[in-house]
Amino acid sequence: MSPTASDRSCAEEINDAIRAFLADREGHPLTPAERRQYEILRDRWLEAVRRCHDGTGP
C-alpha cells in the first residue's frame, strides 16, 4: 500500500511539534523528563516516516 497524504502530514505535524518543543527549551540542556518527552516525540516521528516510506501506512 502506498503512503497517504495523511501519513506524510502526520510526520510533518510531529516534526513541527518536535521543533516547537526544542525551540521552547533553547538555551539550556533538557531535563531528564524533557529528554524522555523528546524521545517519545522522536519515536512517533520515526514510526510515521517509516510508514510513509515503506508503504505500511493505512
Could you give the number of structural domains in the chain?
A: 1
Largest CA distance in the chain: 43
Residue 57 and residue 52: Cα distance in Å, rounded? Answer: 6
pLDDT in tens, 20-51: 999 999 999 999 999 999 999 999 999 999 98
Give the domain extent around 22: 5-54
Answer whether 22's CB lies under 8 Å from 38's CB.
yes
* Cell numbers representing residue 9 in the block: 502530514
Torsion angle of C-alpha atoms 44, 49, 23, 41, degrees rounded to 10: 10
0.85 surpassed by pTM: no
- Beta-carbon contacts of residue 1 (< 8 Å; ≥ 6 apart): 55, 56, 57, 58
| Whether the predicted pLDDT of 8 surpasses 70 | no
